Structure 1
Amino acid sequence: MTNTDINITTTTTNSNETELLNKNDNNSNNNIINLQFLINKHFELCTKTIENYQLLHKENIANNERQFQQILNCLNATKNPESCEDVPLSEFNSLWATSTFKQPCLACHYFGHLIKNCVNLQEKIEDSCLRCFSKEHQVAQCNQKEQSSFIFKKNYKPQSYFKS
């Protein structure tokens, strides 16, 4: 090739490159605009999601604080038992783990509450012995002298005492 041929091919390549660059610049500008639009949309979605999560978290905290305050009122209501009427027993028991109470309630033999929180205290206490948890006799007829710390006695049937 001669020098003129090389120059011609070079100029041809340069003109094609400039055309491609111009097209690519337009495409890249469009791509940049599209990318910015997508980033803005994604940012808006993320901020909305974060705001929704924060609102839900605040509502959950408010509900938990309200339930905790009701339980505290119930526990401190030894002088005024009417203040704990707004807390249902099932809600009260669900918030406290049953492992908190090592022994069942002496009145109804269910785990999850103590005798002072039992709903059917007067009805159930007449039916069972407080020493051996037997429903066959009362405390006056019980042969056992002291109540041992082990709750599963010979007359104690856990399957009949757990709520199903």
Structure 2
Amino acid sequence: MAEPFIHPTASVDSRAEIGAGTKIWINVQVREGVRIGRDCILSKDVYVDHGVTIGDRCKVQNSVSIYNGVTMEDEVFVGPNACFTNDKVPRANNPEWTVTPTVVRRGASIGANATLVCGIEVGEYAMIAAGSVVTRDVAPFALVMGNPARQVGEVDEAGNRVENRA
């Protein structure tokens, strides 16, 4: 198995677990306690907060922020500048704050500039359109878009829009 590739400008904490064949590119930061699976790609300027889990064969495009509490299963695609949150009621100083988890199931795709508000589950092979703000769970194979994101159709495993998924 191929060793992971870590670009010299990336900052990867020694306590992070990086799978074989994974490529971590320019200016990426991976914090302590992160688990990244095999054969992933983390593109330029990605931030992965402590405790995040990313499955096998995921692709995370430029400038994505993935905060503590996020779990991504295998084969998830995250488009450029997408952002995951982890705080339902953000304040600069809240000593009672706790992480609100988010789960992205196998094969889901998240479009460029999408924002995922914490506490949701994105179903397997779901498709989130670019620029969407996701504030509630997304069903498996659903196509959602808008602010707030609403289901407008269904997709198949390849991401093609379908009339009635059988």
TM-score interval w.r.t. the shorter chain?
under 0.3
Q: TM-score, normalised by structure 1?
A: 0.23
User: Higher strand fraction: Structure 1 or Structure 2?
Assistant: 2
Is the radius of gyration larger for structure 1 or structure 2?
1
User: Higher helix fraction: Structure 1 or Structure 2?
Assistant: 1
Q: TM-score, normalised by structure 2?
A: 0.22
